[in-house]
Structure 1
Amino acid sequence: MSLFAKRGLVVVSVLLLGGLTGCASTGANSPSARPVLYPNATLNRVGDAQGCAEADACMVRAVSAGLSPDEKTNAVARGAGAGAATGAVASAVGALITGRGSEGVLRAGVGGAAVGGSAGAVQGAFRNDRPSGTYRNFVQRCLGEKGFDVIGWN
């Protein structure tokens, strides 16, 4: 599939998604949040429906430019690594304190790494759903160039 066809597919998908979701609230800290427009002269002149359509167009334009509404943070992998390291060290130190031999310390460290890594991965998964500031700035600037004033995201 050509790059042009892939971009076209992305644009159509975003348009369909935008049409299905409309101007529904999703929460300000969600990647699926939408810009909230201040009722300035432009919005008052064109109306809420047109303002929503202009916001959809700017969001499609941002995606077409290669931006994503969610931040790609690799939080799952980072959380797993941090959890594994913490679990391994804590378990090994605990084994040393309780007087286990070197084999017991090693086993405790490995077990702690497995448990800590799993817990860290779960924690990272919950933190992975963050909005992209670059995407939002793009959409806000696009709407500003059309005369709209974004006062937040909802």
Structure 2
Amino acid sequence: MPYKSGKIIIGVGVVLLGLSACASYQPVLYPNAYYQSVGKMVADQDIRECRQLAESSGAREGSGTAGNTARRTAVGAGAGAASGAVGGAIAGSAGRGAMVGAASGATYGLLSAMFGSGTAQPSSAYTNFVNRCLRDKGYEVTGWQ
């Protein structure tokens, strides 16, 4: 039985990791003459290059959001484990209750950090750097989303 529970927890983790990859902010480019001449694939490559250049120059994308996500996940796991153990003890299986509670609490903490108030836009230094890099290449950035 523990093997099946482990597979479920790993599966939930993989899904959450995939969701977090979708949560990244991206610059939105205006389809000016330059953008139309190079196309979306080249524009996407230029965005990646500008983002890497920003990071290598010291501008960090996040402003502590990874730490906040980890903290909320850990707090959620702790609270879930405690409440799950109490519920499990009442039902006769404190260990299993704690395991299910920890997994539920961690999932709640992670999701609330990703989709709640813990999800923040990239720092202004980072977006300004990427915007200028793209502007120097010939693009017009209309915003980030």
Q: Which TM-score band (shorter chain)?
A: 0.3 to 0.5
Of structures 1 and 2, the larger Rg is shown by 1
**TM score, norm. by length of structure 1:** 0.46
Structure in which a larger fraction of residues adopt helix: 2
